[in-house]
Structure 1
Amino acid sequence: MTLGELKVIALQKMQAAGDDHLSRSRDSEPYIDRMRAPVNEALLLIATAARPILRRLCIEQAGREGEAAFRRHDLRALCEHFFNLAPGGVYREARGVTERTADYLLEPDGALLLPNCAGQWHLHCHTLPPEIGPDTPDSFELPIDPDAAALLPLYVASQLYKEDDLPAAVQLRNEFELGLQRLAAATPAGRGGLRFRSARGWYRGVAR
């Protein structure tokens, strides 16, 4: 779903658009101008509470450096919009064998501590959605799955419609919350990553 398609569907749910084309009119313009905040809110709710945005990251270490037991990697720098690691989402590859590992530590600031030894670590990361800004084009493809994107117009319309038709806004919000619960229940905890990026880690010691 593109940002423009989201706007059209949200307007249709508020009876402010009559076709599938985004156009400004006396009915639609006040809503279009206020859409950015609820769109960002809905994306954040879905990504953190129901359907994470997943990316894969590969960190490679050549060999032991210094005497420290661990090496530190800043995941917020290596993975754009990093939020958390997926449950069970860390794998180590060494000597041609890849196995899931729990031999790591993730600190609250997004620093990942890995054993000070050679190998490749494949990480499944949960990320936050990019923020929709005033210059984001309507052609922008929203970075969530189609079944999750289908909930966005419900939230946006419920937020924009509160002052004009509160009962309708409440109904739309209830539909969104129910859909959010179903989406969370249908999302496997170990779902595979969607994007891949490689970063070589050449850090000394546990801190840097």
Structure 2
Amino acid sequence: MATTTWDELRIACLQKMFSLDETGLVRNSTTTPYINMMPAAANEAMLILATVGRQFKKCYLLEQGKVEPSETLGGWFAYDLKGLIDDFYTLNEIFRGSDGLYEKFKNFRLEGERYLLLPAEADGTFRIWYEAYPPKITKDTAGDFEIDLHPEAVRMIPLYMAGQLYKDDDLSLAQTYMNEWAVWLEEIKASARRAKGRNSGNGGWSSVTGWT
């Protein structure tokens, strides 16, 4: 599946703000200040998408007995998911493979939205499906860095970026972009609900090794 690069997002954003004939990333005295402000706007857009829009599912493999629990509580091993998984946002579901069997695992507890408690006697490999925070863009992010998100989501990030960056220059146009974003966000929420309904197992967009 084709992905979008950071440069492609920046170019799309500039094209919404200026009339540009060039196809590449145009850096001049006019565009450079906006380019420097783009990481913050992009991060805002992706965070909104990941938490209230089309959430991104990833998988973490935990083999009980090989991963040290943060605590032992009675007959339970406690694992700090935010400590184990850098981009952990919220738990989705858990499957377990043990003794030739593979099934959805329901005998767990989640405390404080981060501490996973598994029975100490439950062996095997646990596939922990979770909803993830997006990657963070910085001023040092390479132009060819791939923004590997839902295709229908990534194409709208420049709209949010342009709306935020243009507020001090053309409030009317900026508001138009933000209104379009708000309408589209409701549409992608509906799309996420439909995708969840169509899929069984781990749900819609998911990745074992990354954002693919």
TM-score bracket, shorter-length normalisation: 0.7 to 0.9
1:83 paired to 2:86: no
Deviations 1:46-94 (A, max 9, x none): 111112222111111249xx893211112123222111112xx211222
What is the TM-score when the length of structure 2 is the normalising length?
Answer: 0.83
> Which runs of no fewer than 5 residues in structure 1 stay unpaired?
198-208
Contact 1:55 / 1:195 at 8 angstroms: preserved in 2? yes
Amino acid in structure 1 at the alignment position of 2:184: G
What is the TM-score when the length of structure 1 is the normalising length?
Answer: 0.85
* C-alpha distance in 1 between matches for 2:45 and 2:21: 24
Displacement of 1:129: 1.4
Q: Which moved more, 1:23-32 or 1:156-165?
A: 23-32
**Gap change, CA 1:94 and 1:74, over 3 Å in 2:** same
Match of 2:103 in 1: 99
Displacement of 1:159: 0.3
Aligned residues: 194
* C-alpha distance in 1 between matches for 2:29 and 2:63: 56
- Larger relative contact order (Cα-Cα within 8 Å, sequence gap ≥ 6): 1
Contact 1:34 / 1:160 at 8 angstroms: preserved in 2? yes
1:10 paired to 2:16: no
Greater than 6 Å deviation, 4+ residue runs: none
Amino acid in structure 1 at the alignment position of 2:101: V
Q: 165, 168, 172: which one pairs with 1:167?
A: 172
**Same amino acid, percent of matched pairs:** 33
**Gap change, CA 1:16 and 1:192, over 3 Å in 2:** closer
Contact 2:59 / 2:209 at 8 angstroms: preserved in 1? yes
**Normalized per residue, which structure has more helix?**
2
Deviations 1:136-172 (A, max 9, x none): 1111111312211011000000001111111111111
For the aligned residue pairs, the C-alpha RMSD in angstroms reads 2.2
Q: Which moved more, 1:139-148 or 1:157-166?
A: 139-148
Amino acid in structure 2 at the alignment position of 1:79: I
> Which runs of no fewer than 5 residues in structure 2 stay unpaired?
67-71, 197-202
